[in-house]
Amino acid sequence: MLTIIHGSDTALSRKYFLDEKQKLKDAILIEAEKVDLTELAQLFEGGGLFGETKYLFIEQLLTKRKKSSDFKDILTYLEKNAGENTIFLWEGKELERGTLNALKKAVVRTFKFPQTLFQLLDAILPDNNKTLIKLFHQTIETTEPEMIFFMLIRQIRILLALSSFVIPVKTGIQKRMDPRIRDDDKENIIDEIKRIQPWQKGKLEKQARLFEPTHLLDLYDKLFQIEVGQKTGTLNTPLVSAIDFFLLEV
């Protein structure tokens, strides 16, 4: 059997992929860059007992090898051998339908963020604490707190970028940012703004205008302190509680 594992919730999809691998004693893990037809032939056809099932796990094959000259041949070979073997492909993002159609016989497992996560991000508004707390606790029923925290950081960064602390100039994406914004986040902000669709950007700009820029900067600082506490082991409350306290201050 051939299974494709993908989706926007990469933490959950990755966990499923590794859990399946852990169940199989003789599982073989291969990175996409190291996959070629010769190695696959040796795995499926060479050595071992006749008819012995192989358990193959490949990371990012459909993403990283899509433009390689032997990509279609590799997919054809995997499908050919999927009947007598177990093959899992994990991708670190949600794949487009066209990519999934390249393996018509595959079982597809999709791990998407719950709708409540996007409702939570949209609900980041001044004095909307009760709704934020409610949506957060609904979301952690199906999504890891670490992933929610990452998405909160990203949302505040974008809102901060679209506030008056970040001033667009005629030459394009180059921005002037408040000096208190960390240097490593400045590049992230620019990249994120580049990827936003026009309709989405308009929606986010309206959301950003509801905040005083100084308040957004304060929220950014609070998330940074939580992040430092996590990385250094000095966070004095569980992450869920820290996020609760943060949302109360929005």
List of residues 6+ apart from 155 with CB closer than 8 A: 121, 124
What is the pLDDT averaged over residues 104-114? 92
Residue with tokens 């905040």: 211
Whether 2-110 and 115-248 share one fold: the answer is: no
Rounded to whole angstroms, the Cα distance separating 209 from 47 reads 65
Nearest to 11 by CA among 141, 122, 111, 102: 111
pTM of the model: 0.71
What is the pLDDT averaged over residues 182-199? 65
Residue with tokens 């054809």: 76
Q: Where are the domains of the chain?
A: 2-110, 115-248
Q: Which helix (H) or strand (E) holds 80?
A: helix 71-81
Q: What is the third-level CATH fold of 2-110?
A: Rossmann fold (3.40.50)
CATH annotation of 115-248: 1.20.272.10
What is the pLDDT averaged over residues 174-190? 52
Rounded to whole angstroms, the Cα distance separating 125 from 100 reads 37
Rounded to whole angstroms, the Cα distance separating 43 from 78 reads 11
Are 70 and 34 a contacting pair, CB within 8 Å? no
Label residue 34 by pLDDT band (50, 70, 90): confident
Label residue 25 by pLDDT band (50, 70, 90): confident
Angle at which helices 145-161 and 115-122 pack, to 10 degrees? 40
What is the pLDDT averaged over residues 158-176? 57
pLDDT at 174: 40
Structure tokens at 16: 């499923």
Rounded to whole angstroms, the Cα distance separating 167 from 176 reads 5
pLDDT at 123: 97
Helix residue spans in 82-144 (DSSP H): 97-100, 115-122, 129-139
Rounded to whole angstroms, the Cα distance separating 176 from 166 reads 5
Provide the mean pLDDT of the chain: 86
**pLDDT tens sequence across 51-101:** 578 899 999 999 998 888 899 999 999 999 998 899 999 999 999 988 898
What is the pLDDT averaged over residues 9-38? 91
pLDDT at 188: 60
Looking only at the bridges linking them, the beta strands covering 172-176 and 2-6 are: unpaired
pLDDT at 186: 54
**pLDDT at 142 > cutoff 80:** yes
DSSP class of residue 95?
Answer: P
